Amino acid sequence: MIAALAFYLFAAILIASAVMVVTARNPVHSVLFLILAFFNAAALFLIAGAEFLAMILVIVYVGAVAVLFLFVVMMLDIDFARLREGFQRYAPIGAIIGGILFLELVLVVGSWGFSSQANELRLAPNPGADVTNAEAIGRILYTDYVYLFQASGLVLLVAMIGAIVLTHRQREGTKRQNIAAQVYRTGSVALEKVPSGAGIATLGIRRPPEPEPEAPKVTHDTGHGHGGHH
Amino acid sequence: MDGFLASPIGILAITVAQTLALLVPVLIAVAYLTLAERKVLAAMQLRRGPNVVGPFGLLQPFADALKMLMKETIVPSGANRFLFILAPILLFMLAMIAWAVIPVQDGWAIADINVGILYLFAVSSLGVYGVIIAGWASNSKYAFLGALRSAAQMVSYEVSIGFVIVTVLLCVGSLNLTDVVRAQERVWFFIPLFPMFIIFFISALAETNRAPFDLPEGESELVAGFFVEYSSMSFALFFLGEYANMILMSALTTILFLGGWHPPMHVEPFIWVPGFVWFALKIALLLFVFIWVRATFPRYRYDQLMRLGWKVFLPFSLVWLVLTAAVLKLAGWLPA
pLDDT tens per residue across span B215-270: 766 666 767 777 878 888 888 888 888 898 899 999 999 999 988 888 887 787 87
Residue of chain A with shortest Cα separation from B125: A63
Extract the runs of DSSP E, i.e. beta strands, from A43-90.
none
Closest CA to A26 of A100, A71, A62, A79: A79
B175 reaches A (C-beta below 8 A): yes
Q: Does the beta-carbon distance from A64 to B155 stay under 8 Å?
A: yes
Burial class (CB in 10 A: 0-12, 13-18, 19+), B230: buried
- Report, as an integer, the average pLDDT of B57-75: 85
Q: Mean pLDDT for chain A?
A: 79
**A126 band by pLDDT with thresholds 50, 70 and 90:** low
Local structure of residue B312 (DSSP, 8 states): I
- Report, as an integer, the average pLDDT of B62-78: 84
Q: Mean pLDDT for chain B?
A: 85
Tell me the residues of A at the B interface, defined by beta carbons under 8 Å apart: 2, 28, 32, 35, 51-52, 55-56, 58-59, 62-64, 67-68, 70-71, 74-75, 132-134, 177, 179, 196-197
Residue of chain B with shortest Cα separation from A176: B303
Q: Does the beta-carbon distance from B114 to A28 stay under 8 Å?
A: no
Say what the pLDDT of residue B229 is: 80
Q: Does the beta-carbon distance from B132 to A74 stay under 8 Å?
A: yes
Q: Could you tell me if B203 and B313 are in contact, meaning their C-beta atoms sit under 8 angstroms apart? A: yes
Q: Could you tell me if B167 and B193 are in contact, meaning their C-beta atoms sit under 8 angstroms apart? A: yes
Q: Residue A138 carries which side chain, given as an amino acid letter?
A: G
Please name the residues in contact with B275: beta carbons below 8 A apart, sequence gap of 6 or more.
B104, B105, B106, B260, B261, B262, B263
Q: Could you tell me if B327 and B193 are in contact, meaning their C-beta atoms sit under 8 angstroms apart? A: no
Is the pLDDT reported for residue A204 higher than 70? no
**B287 band by pLDDT with thresholds 50, 70 and 90:** very high
Closest CA to A44 of A94, A100, A102, A3: A3
Residue of chain A with shortest Cα separation from B113: A51
- Residue among B128, B148, B175 minimizing CB distance to A134: B175
Say what the pLDDT of residue A225 is: 43
What's the gap between Cα A44 and its chain centre?
A: 23
Extract the runs of DSSP E, i.e. beta strands, from A83-183.
none
- Residue among B83, B122, B129 minimizing CB distance to A59: B122
| pTM attached to this predicted model | 0.81
Give per-residue pLDDT as tens, A39-62. Answer: 899 999 888 888 888 888 998 888
Share of chain B above pLDDT 70, in %: 97
- Residue among A59, A179, A197 minimizing CB distance to B118: A59
Q: Does the beta-carbon distance from B115 to A134 stay under 8 Å?
A: yes
Please give the full DSSP string across B32-96, using - where no structure is assigned.
HHHHHHHHHHHHHTT---S-SSSGGGTTHHHHHHHHHHHSPP---TTS-HHHHHHHHHHHHHHHH
Say what the pLDDT of residue A181 is: 81
- Report, as an integer, the average pLDDT of A19-33: 87
SS3 A192: coil
Q: Does the beta-carbon distance from B175 to A132 stay under 8 Å?
A: yes
With contacts defined as CB-CB under 8 Å, which chain A residues touch B119? Answer: 55
A121-125, B32-36, B69-73, B283-287: least confidently modelled range: A121-125
**A224 band by pLDDT with thresholds 50, 70 and 90:** very low
Say what the pLDDT of residue A222 is: 47
| Measured distance CA(B131)–CA(B86) in Å, rounded | 11
Q: Directed axis angle between helix B116-137 and helix B141-172, to 10°?
A: 170
Most B CBs within 10 Å, among A1, A36, A74, A157, to test the B interface? A74
Say what the pLDDT of residue A159 is: 95
Closest CA to B217 of B93, B98, B91: B91
